[in-house]
Chains A and B, each alone.
Chain A
Amino acid sequence: MSDFLRSYLTVGIFGLVGVALVSVFLGLGKILRPNKPTLAKTEAYESGVEPTGDMWSQANIRYYVFALLFVMFDVEAVFIFPWATRLEAYGTFGLIEMAIFIFILLLGLLYAWRKGVLKWA
């Protein structure tokens, strides 16, 4: 296996270590802790008042547009990263290219700003 793929194997192993650590902690607790569930204990916590209605209540997610903006900028970051490492090689041409790219993205943000998307509606 190449070193490149090996390093990803290491990443995967570390992820599994995280899972294993949680399992060990919870397993250890299982031996020590009591288990006497009652009806009151398993009730959802609502500051001591009996919970009413559906627990998955509808909430007004005011910032779903932010999620769309996020996708835009996140994809942008994917493009800027490789450019950033090779800036010296691209020189002035690369700089102007990227300035135009960032400017267009900024326009998008400004548009959203002007449209009042960034305000708490």
Chain B
Amino acid sequence: MTDVAILGELAYWQQTGIRVGAGLAAVLLVAGTLVYLHLFKLVSFMQSRLGPMEAGPFGSLQLLAEVGKFLQKEDIFPRKADRFVFAAAPFVVLMSTFLLVVVVPGGPDAWFINSELGIYLAMAVSSVSVIGILMAGWGSASKYSLLGGLRATGQLIAYELPLILAVMGVVIQAETMNMQGIVQAQADGEIFGWGGIGNPYILTQFVAFVIFMIAMQAELTQTPFDMPIAESELVTGYMTEYSGMRFLLFFIGEFATAGVFSAIASVLFLGGWWAPIPGLGFDDNVWNLLGPLVLVTKVVVLTFIIFWARFSLPRFREDQLQQLAWKVLIPLALANIVVTALLKIVF
């Protein structure tokens, strides 16, 4: 019926070609949408202004204009920089985004990989971006960059733990680490015997969801967790010495990762590509077309929360940040695991 149904009959390299195309779209289109919707428009409305209006209808082509502008900017390497590390950092950051998007399923057959290790792999590769950021901070040979890079490292490893531990509750409930299996478990789930909307884990794992969202905010270094960038203290932190296209690549990476992380969160807690539409079974082929749209809708909702917080809250202090992670989120996440496991055994 759809092209995806035929996908199984193609050779591996043909399938992979299609998947790579879809992956590029999933990363770049979603990142572009988020920049336009949230960074250009949402923040403008929150500050009682219109935002970009000139390029295209309601300024929707502003983003392309920006890319065109950045393409023409001179590429400056600081004289004392560690040239290789400095140049390699954007590659590492963007590569980690693409390694991450691989686990997100878009429909019953529309997946990039259908690995049993799904979410485990995602949690593993999400740490790769830390290396990229540390490389950027170190390679720039600038005091601001070095401080930003160090702060980012401390923050990212501290919030990696609540992120991983929050996922554990979902894994206990779904009994699988396979992303597709997690979606299915939510679709087949029942709330006290009523299966009308399945059982999205945001209901049963609300604590984990809140922890995950906070940790995600910190992993993405969005305000109130933006100490690594902290423009009032560190100029732009680890990105200070980057100019032109290289700077834009960090920027793209930031928003693309926001999209991918939200996609992972919506798979874990909101039922992923599945939505309770009457008359549609879990395996219907229609989901291969409808699924990505449903997923993107959920991503937009989740990123809305991220950017809402970003534009509303002031920055944490560095020690408060570490204390929140170690004294509040990690014990809470551990308690959540034990309680979830207990309830799982009892019921």
Contacts and interface: CB of A to CB of B under 8 A. Distances in A.
Interface of A: 4, 6-11, 13-15, 17-19, 21-23, 25-26, 28-30, 32-37, 39, 41-47, 51, 55-57, 59, 61, 63, 66-67, 69-70, 73-74, 77, 80-81, 84-88, 91-92, 95, 98-99, 102, 105-106, 109, 113, 118-120
Interface string B312-347: 000000110011001100110010011001101100
B79 A15 contact: no
Nearest to B320: A120
B338 A102 contact: yes
Main secondary structure of the interface of A (DSSP, over half): helix
Interface of B: 12, 16, 19-20, 23-24, 70-80, 90-91, 94-99, 101-102, 112-115, 120-121, 123, 125, 138, 140-144, 146-147, 150, 154, 157-158, 160-161, 164-165, 168, 171-172, 175-177, 235, 240-241, 244-246, 248-249, 318-319, 322-323, 326-327, 330-331, 334, 337-338, 341-342, 344-345
A63 B164 CA distance: 20
A23 B245 CA distance: 11
Given A118-B322, A118-B326, 10 more contacts: A14-B99, A22-B94, A29-B245, A33-B73, A39-B79, A46-B144, A59-B150, A63-B322, A102-B334, A109-B331
A46 B23 contact: no
A117 B124 CA distance: 26
Main secondary structure of the interface of B (DSSP, over half): helix
Contacts of A42: 76-79
Contacts of B338: 98-99, 102
Nearest to A72: B161
A21 B94 contact: yes
Nearest to B78: A44
Nearest to B120: A81
Given A11-B121, A13-B20, A81-B168, A57 B143 contact: yes
B113 A69 contact: no
A67 B140 CA distance: 23
Contacts of B334: 102, 105-106
Nearest to A86: B175
A101 B91 CA distance: 39
Closest 9 CB pairs of A and B: A120-B319, A18-B98, A18-B95, A7-B113, A55-B141, A42-B79, A29-B245, A84-B171, A44-B142
